[in-house]
């Protein structure tokens, strides 16, 4: 959990503004949900490993007997009733179930807000971080995936990010792969968690994790992963039926493979800085994905800078009626590290370096004139170390300065000078 100095905050706000504008231009509407959710909802088995990282809130009014009883039973979660959200998708599902009657049949939402996970802090991974989500609820066809990927690609392009690759897979293909290897269906979630670590522990490490139970199946999977690793190192393969079937075992879901080729055809007009590739080892750690899944890779980041997918089963958990849903999230903390604040961001900003002899009413009148003309204005008292004053102003994003002394009558008399 971090503090941000003015220059960092300015860069973040610039990026958030660009993302919001891009998403809104594609017909998405922004909503807001509380930072806390019911603890049972957060631990419903839909959040994968992230459920283990959720911050829980103790119930009010607990006493020593309550604490001892929970310790004796080993059920510490019984001491809590609320938790900080670890993503924005679970809250969205609850939001939709609550407000469905007030929303259109196909609802396109924007959520841009902080989430919390009890991570081990490191570069690009924090305990409090911002997610930028767009979701489409109520659209069962590929239009949802197409709109989400198009809007996200437009945001990346508007941010000035080039050489982005959107890696795509389908949970149906992954499930078919696990079935081919001989894993019992009950083990699929755990196997997928291990495959999700492929880039960190390699095929040998995945096999080692899975060999304790079902060694034969793990060995078959290991052989497949070893064959796939060269393709993954190259960023995946083209999204055609021929290319996809060429690297997978026979008998994998042909409808899912054909759907990926169809998706690629629908997305042939993406910005030049964004490409699509099929990655058969892409998992996405959340347990709620049911179909197409995707992640954004960028050469400037060692981890994905965004991801999402189809989660048709989640809304029904809260609503009692199945509703198709799909979402895409930009990993804001990683993206913002890859961009710079535009050079002209502070073009209309000025620091007035004033002498102590200037009457306050005149100083404020000059400031008001500049503000009325559309400028951002800051007042700094003139000091012996003028360079330090100007350096601080430049670091805060100001681009010009002017001296105000007792003889300065108004803003028209100012001599504006560039900073830096």
- Could you tell me the pLDDT band of residue 59, with boundaries at 50, 70 and 90? confident
Write the pLDDT tens digit of every residue in 201-245: 888 888 888 887 667 888 888 888 888 888 887 778 898 999 999
How high does pLDDT run on average in the chain? Answer: 88
Helices 254-266 and 171-181, packing angle to 10 deg: 150
- pLDDT confidence of residue 354: 94
Question: CB of 107 within 8 A of CB of 93?
Answer: no
pLDDT surpassing 90 at residue 196 = no
Overall average pLDDT of the 401-416 stretch? 92
Question: CB of 408 within 8 A of CB of 392?
Answer: no
Question: CB of 134 within 8 A of CB of 151?
Answer: yes
pLDDT surpassing 70 at residue 405 = yes
pLDDT surpassing 80 at residue 287 = no
- pLDDT confidence of residue 344: 64
CA 282 distance to own-chain centroid: 17
Q: Residue written as tokens 């631990």?
A: 43
- Could you tell me the pLDDT band of residue 279, with boundaries at 50, 70 and 90? very high
Report the share of the chain in percent with pLDDT over 90. Answer: 48
Instruction: Concatenate the DSSP letters of all residues of 36-53 into one string.
Output: EEEHHHHTSS-SGGGGGG
- Residues sharing a CB contact under 8 Å with residue 32, sequence separation 6 or more, in sequence order: 111, 113
What are 134's two structure tokens?
């767009």
Q: Is pTM beyond 0.75 here?
A: yes
Q: Are strands 164-170 and 274-278 parallel, antiparallel or unpaired?
A: parallel
Write the pLDDT tens digit of every residue in 322-344: 899 999 999 999 999 888 777 66
- pLDDT confidence of residue 43: 79
pLDDT surpassing 70 at residue 409 = yes
- pLDDT confidence of residue 47: 63
Question: Domains of the chain (ranges plus CATH)?
Answer: 6-185+263-336 (3.30.930.10), 345-418 (3.40.50)
Q: Residue written as tokens 């989400």?
A: 148
- pLDDT confidence of residue 48: 61
């Amino acid at each position: 959990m971090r503090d941000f100095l003015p220059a960092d905050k300015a860069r973040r706000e610039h990026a958030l503004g660009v993302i919001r504008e891009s998403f809104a231009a594609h017909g998405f509407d922004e909503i807001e949900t509380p930072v806390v959710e019911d603890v049972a909802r957060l631990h419903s088995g839909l959040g994968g490993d992230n459920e283990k990282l959720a911050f829980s809130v103790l119930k009010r009014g607990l006493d020593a007997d309550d604490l001892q009883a929970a310790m004796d039973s080993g059920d510490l979660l019984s001491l809590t009733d609320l938790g900080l959200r670890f993503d924005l998708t679970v809250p969205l599902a609850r939001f939709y179930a609550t407000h469905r009657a007030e929303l259109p049949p196909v609802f396109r939402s924007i959520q841009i807000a902080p989430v919390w996970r009890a991570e081990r802090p490191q570069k690009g991974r924090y305990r409090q971080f911002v997610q930028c989500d767009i979701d489409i609820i109520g659209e069962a066809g590929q239009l949802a995936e197409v709109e989400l990927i198009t809007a996200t690609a437009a945001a990346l392009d508007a941010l000035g990010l080039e050489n982005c690759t959107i890696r795509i897979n389908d949970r149906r293909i992954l499930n078919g792969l696990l079935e081919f290897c001989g894993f019992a269906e009950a083990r699929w979630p755990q196997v997928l968690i291990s495959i999700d670590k492929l880039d960190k522990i390699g095929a040998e490490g995945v096999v080692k994790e899975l060999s304790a139970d079902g060694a034969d199946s793990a060995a078959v999977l290991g052989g497949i992963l070893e064959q796939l690793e060269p393709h993954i190192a190259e960023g995946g393969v083209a999204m055609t039926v021929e290319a996809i079937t060429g690297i997978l075992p026979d008998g994998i879901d042909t409808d899912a493979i054909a759907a990926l080729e169809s998706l690629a055809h629908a997305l042939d007009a993406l910005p030049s800085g964004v490409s699509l590739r099929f990655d058969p080892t892409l998992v996405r750690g959340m347990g709620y994905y049911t179909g197409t899944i995707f992640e954004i890779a960028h050469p400037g980041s060692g981890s994905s800078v965004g991801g999402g997918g189809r989660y048709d089963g989640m809304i029904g958990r809260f609503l009692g009626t199945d509703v198709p849903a799909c979402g895409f999230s930009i990993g804001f903390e990683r993206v913002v590290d890859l961009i710079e604040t535009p050079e002209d961001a502070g073009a209309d900003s000025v620091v007035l370096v004033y002498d102590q002899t200037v009457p306050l009413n005149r100083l404020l009148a000059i400031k008001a004139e500049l503000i009325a003309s559309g400028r951002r204005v800051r007042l700094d008292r003139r000091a012996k170390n003028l360079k330090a004053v100007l350096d601080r102003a430049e670091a805060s994003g100001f681009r010009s300065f002017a001296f105000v002394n007792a003889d300065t009558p108004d803003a028209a008399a100012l001599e504006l000078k560039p900073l830096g």
